[in-house]
Amino acid sequence: MISHPLKTLFVHIPKTGGQSIESVFLKDAGLSWAERGQLCLGRNRDPARGPTRLAHLYADEYVRCGHISGAAFDAYLKFAIVRHPYERVLSEYRYRAAARRKRGDPPVSFDAFIRLRPEDERLDLARHLVPQNRYVSDAGGRLLVDRVLHLERLEEEVAPLFQKIFRRMVQLPHQNASAAGDGPRRADLSTDQKRYLQERYAEDFAAFGYEG
């Protein structure tokens, strides 16, 4: 998401509360959800412009895919939100399991879900399962954003950032939450599942200070 008037770029990692952040910027700009394209959000059919949903651009794609100049990218305040890898994938599974039930599709087990590895990195599912560190770092591991906030303490961490961006106190709404009772929780993870997730998302545990 890009706000040129506020010189701010938000890298939206799926299932980390990103729609709540985007709604704040849309409201400040006087835009509806249908007008979110003005903030570099919405669906995308052009592979040269990034993934199928622009909200989930990696930080290093904003310039490469032509959404912002290199000079502006360097000058803008850039931030992202991360989440414990267990909780993120559990939330993702609950969300997609509920959608499958609604459509009448057969269920997919959690064990099978966490082992999915879509080949096309542009696809929405691929963007939802990729390590969070891929969103905020380049191929050499260099962090490309100025601030990394944590969903577990988001209200505390986002308040001073919003004060800096908007020059006033801004209330953060809570949107697009997956109900905790709709599927497995952290306590339900098996030892093998934890081990697998620790290996698959090792860079997230290391980069963002989370423990297995």
Interior/surface letters 38-51, b for 16+ CB within 10 angstroms, e for the rest? ebbbeebeeeeebb
What type of residue sits at position 12? H
pLDDT at site 33: 96
pTM of the model: 0.94
Q: Which ranges of the chain have pLDDT less than 70?
A: 175-181
Range of the domain at 46: 2-208
As a whole number of angstroms, the distance between CA 20 and CA 162 comes to: 13
Q: What is the pLDDT of residues 33-58, one digit of tens each?
A: 999 999 999 999 999 999 999 999 99
pLDDT at site 173: 85
Residue 152 sits in a domain whose CATH number is: 3.40.50
8-state DSSP, 43: B
As a whole number of angstroms, the distance between CA 68 and CA 55 comes to: 14
pLDDT at site 163: 97
8-state DSSP, 53: B
Q: How far apart are the first and last CA of the chain?
A: 30
pLDDT at site 28: 96
Question: 143: which 2 tokens?
Answer: 């962090």
E strand segments, 61-202: 77-82, 147-150
Please state the φ and ψ torsions of residue 43, each to the nearest 5 degrees.
-75, 155
pLDDT at site 80: 99
pLDDT at site 7: 99
If one counts the domains in the chain, the total is: 1
